[in-house]
Amino acid sequence: MPHHEVEKFKARTRWLHWVVTLAALTLGLTGLFLYVPQFGSVAQDSYTRIIHRIAAVIFVGAPLLYFLIAPRMSLTFLRKVFTWGKDDLEWLQAAPDYYFGGDESKMPPQPEMNSGQKLWSVVAVGSFVGFFVTGLLMWVFKGSISSGAFQASVFVHDACFIVGGAMLLVHLYLGAIHPRMTESLRSMIGGKVSVEYAKSHHGKWYKETTGEGGGEEKTGGEGEK
């Protein structure tokens, strides 16, 4: 590995990210066809529901399989996502000014997963659980639950789509389009980021990974999702 780069994600983490992303986008598109009245004619054929359900199995199955393969890494990721402190609140307060062109030096140093990525991950994990439970009720147990429980499941499912979908759009913009975050996408494709990017966006993580200020660089993290 070139000395001007550090490893941010291993291959299996990148594979999981893209498999889940493609499944989520497929679910979102087919879900629109199924639930938006204007698209009702498109959803009349059974293929839309079949594609939606296949994507749902992949969306749920891929993370569960990853958990079985790498349980310790998965639990570490969840611990990072749901562990919040003063630095996270300070980062969130400073973030709007930064993303609209403000002074980068005012941003608090961040670990492997910055506070914005943690916020996205909280929403993603919450939506995942909501989709899984309500989807299971509407698909597998449709004939066993009351009409009220079914309607409640539809409501929660739709709410997860709205909240999760909105955050996904923000995630896509910040990860792939925003000029200050372009290496975020590159890291999820090739697994590496430049030393400069690591220092400016994940200063705490870079210090822990490389021993601050130099020395031989080590391979790094798994958790910028």
pLDDT in tens, 183-203: 999 999 999 999 999 998 999
Residue at 21 is within a domain:
no
pLDDT at residue 217 greater than cutoff 60: no
Q: In this model, does residue 16 exceed pLDDT 60?
A: yes
Residue 20 within a domain: no
With respect to residue 166, please indicate whether it lies within any of the assigned structural domains.
Answer: yes
Structure confidence by residue, pLDDT tens digits, 92-103: 999 999 999 888
Q: What would the mean pLDDT of 136-145 be, rounded to a whole number?
A: 93
Establish if 93 belongs to a structural domain. yes
Regarding predicted confidence, which is higher, 38 or 150? 150
Numbers of helices and strands, H then E, in the chain = 9, 2
Section 48-71 average pLDDT:
95
Evaluate whether residue 224 is within a structural domain: no
Angle at the Cα of 178 (from 176 to 180), degrees rounded to 5? 110
- Domain for residue 220, yes or no? no
pLDDT at site 45: 66
Does residue 204 lie within any of the structural domains?
yes
Q: Is residue 17 part of a domain?
A: no
Type and span of the H or E element at 79: helix 71-81
Average pLDDT over residues 38-54: 78
Give the total number of structural domains in the chain: 1
| CATH code (residue 120) | 1.20.950.20
Residue 220 above 90 pLDDT? no
> Which position has the higher pLDDT, 124 or 32?
124
Confidence of residue 106 (pLDDT cuts 50, 70, 90): confident
Torsion angle (degrees, nearest 10) of CA 54, 186, 124, 78: 110
Domain ranges, residue 114: 5-10+71-210
* pLDDT more than 90, % of the chain: 68
Closest CA to 117 of 3, 29, 1, 221: 221
The pLDDT assigned to 222 comes to 54
Q: What is the rounded CA–CA span in Å between residue 44 and residue 148?
A: 24
Taking CA atoms, 70 is separated from 61, 64, 86, 224, in Å, by 14, 10, 30, 16
Q: Mean pLDDT, to the nearest integer, of 94-123?
A: 91
